[in-house]
């Protein structure tokens, strides 16, 4: 059997890793600069941030395998799979439902306008994205956030929405769900998309609800009543702000819309919803 090889030898890769490690260490413990502590060493906060950046750079430098076609070496989602499975589609501008060419809004949004100015989805919730998102969300694959963020950034109108936003808010999890899962997948995604603008302490989930996929539309709407709140200490950040709400999957839109209505009532001037996938 033919063995796949990367574009660099193992010796070159090892040398590159050692070089990155040495450079990162020198940056952390070297002398001079505003990040010095009173003892002449770099502050712990500076070291933590430098170490995180070094680890991310190291991981990005290593060969990878496409999560879809398993090509090696490749990016987490290779260009061929993006071209095959993630072509842009015409979507309703306020709920991201797939629509016919030339249609701006679906009938449901015309009849009952959502509390969003714009809603953007990278892909439809179908093969191969269903299994990848389920693994990301439920089976301890938080590292997929960077690949999904890249997929979203390649989606038309996402970059302008992020650039125009004052804050990027991940959809929050209840404390019970967060303890069970161990991480908030929407927060990881938001931090990959716009780390400097992400604020995860503003929008709170104060009511735990069953998984939305197991409920009817009526049950979703009733269960989400008073499920969210704005942190009183950060309420002023919402007034007049342009916000982007980030989530992984959008089904009926009930969860995203409930959070958007609350933020609208708190004074938000413009709200865009941003999701990896939209069910059809």
Q: Does one domain contain both 225 and 150?
A: yes
pLDDT digits (tens, 9 = 90+) for 1-25: 433 433 343 444 344 434 444 444 3
Q: Are 115 and 128 in contact (CB under 8 A)?
A: no
What's the mean pLDDT when you consider all of the chain? 82
Asked if residue 77 is part of any domain, the answer here is no
> Is residue 223 a part of any domain in this protein?
yes
Query: Which residue has tokens 């960077």?
Result: 146
One domain for residues 162 and 45: no
Q: 126 and 51, same structural domain?
A: no
Q: Where are the beta strands (DSSP E) in the chain?
A: 118-124, 167-170, 203-205, 228-230, 242-250, 270-278
Question: What's the pLDDT score for residue 5?
Answer: 38
Does 79 reside within a domain? no
Does the pLDDT of residue 106 top 70, yes or no? yes
Sorted by sequence, the CB contacts under 8 Å of residue 199 that are 6+ apart come out as 167, 168, 169, 234, 237
Does 154 or 223 have the greater pLDDT score?
154
Residue 130 structural domain: 88-278
The reply to whether 230 and 148 lie within a common domain is yes
- Taking CB atoms within 8 Å and a gap of at least 24, the contacts of 31-34 are none
Nearest residue to 152 via CA among 61, 66, 88, 71: 88
Same structural domain for residues 178 and 221?
yes
Instruction: Map tokens 């780390």 to a residue.
Output: 195
Last residue of a domain, one of 45, 61, 77: 61
Per the domain annotation, does 207 fall within a domain?
A: yes
What distance separates the 2 farthest-apart alpha carbons in the chain?
A: 66
131 and 248 belong to one structural domain: yes
Kindly report whether the peptide bond that precedes residue 128 is cis, defined as omega within 30 degrees of 0.
yes
Closest by Cα among 143, 3, 150, 162 to 81: 150
Number of domains in the chain: 2
Q: Is residue 144 part of a domain?
A: yes
Whether residues 120 and 251 share a domain: the answer is yes
Q: Are 255 and 224 in contact (CB under 8 A)?
A: yes
- In CATH, what number is assigned to the domain containing residue 143? 3.40.50
pLDDT given for residue 18 in this prediction = 44
Considering the domain architecture, whether residues 144 and 218 belong to the same structural domain is answered as yes
Same domain as 97, residue 50: no
Give the tens place of pLDDT for each residue, 161-201: 999 999 999 999 998 889 989 999 999 999 999 999 999 99
Residues 106 and 165 in one domain: yes
Same domain, 184 and 256: yes
Are both 16 and 149 inside the same structural domain?
no
Asked if the structure places residue 49 within a domain, the reply is: yes
pLDDT over 90 (residue 51):
no
The first and second tokens of residue 125, run together, are 């919730």
Supply φ then ψ for residue 249, to 5 degrees.
-130, 140
Per-residue model confidence (pLDDT) at position 30:
43
Rounded to two decimals, what is the model's pTM? 0.76
DSSP string covering 122-156, please?
EEES-TTHHHHHHHHHHTT-GGGHHHHHHHHHTST
| Alpha carbons 258 and 193: distance in angstroms, whole number | 23
Nearest to 44 by CA among 34, 54, 55, 36: 36
Kindly state whether residue 156 falls inside one of the protein's structural domains: yes
Angle at 263 (CA atoms; ends 117, 149), nearest 5 degrees: 65
């Amino acid at each position: 059997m033919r063995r796949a090889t990367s574009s660099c030898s193992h010796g070159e890769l090892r040398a590159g890793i050692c070089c990155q490690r040495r450079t990162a260490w020198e940056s952390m413990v070297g002398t001079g600069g505003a990040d010095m502590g009173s003892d002449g060493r770099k502050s712990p906060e500076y070291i933590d941030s430098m170490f995180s950046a070094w680890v991310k750079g190291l991981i990005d430098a290593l060969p990878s395998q496409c999560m879809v076609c398993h090509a090696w070496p490749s990016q987490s989602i290779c260009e061929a799979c993006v071209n095959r499975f993630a072509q842009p589609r015409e979507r309703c501008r306020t709920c991201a439902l797939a629509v016919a060419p030339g249609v701006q809004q679906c009938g449901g949004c015309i009849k009952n306008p959502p509390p969003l100015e714009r809603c953007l989805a990278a892909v439809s919730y179908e093969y191969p994205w269903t299994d990848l998102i389920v693994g990301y969300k439920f089976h301890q694959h938080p590292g997929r956030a960077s690949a999904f963020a890249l997929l979203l950034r390649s989606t038309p109108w996402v970059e302008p929405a992020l650039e125009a936003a004052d804050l990027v808010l991940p959809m929050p999890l209840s404390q019970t769900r967060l303890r069970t899962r161990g991480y908030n997948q929407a927060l990881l995604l938001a931090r990959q998309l716009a780390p400097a603008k992400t604020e995860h302490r503003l929008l709170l989930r104060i009511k735990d609800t069953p998984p939305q996929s197991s409920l009817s539309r009526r049950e979703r709407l009733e269960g989400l009543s008073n499920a969210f709140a704005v942190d009183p200490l950060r309420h002023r950040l919402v007034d007049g702000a342009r916000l982007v709400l980030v989530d992984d999957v959008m089904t009926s839109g009930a969860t995203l819309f409930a959070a958007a209505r609350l933020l609208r009532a708190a004074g938000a001037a413009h709200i865009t919803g941003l999701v990896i996938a939209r069910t059809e």
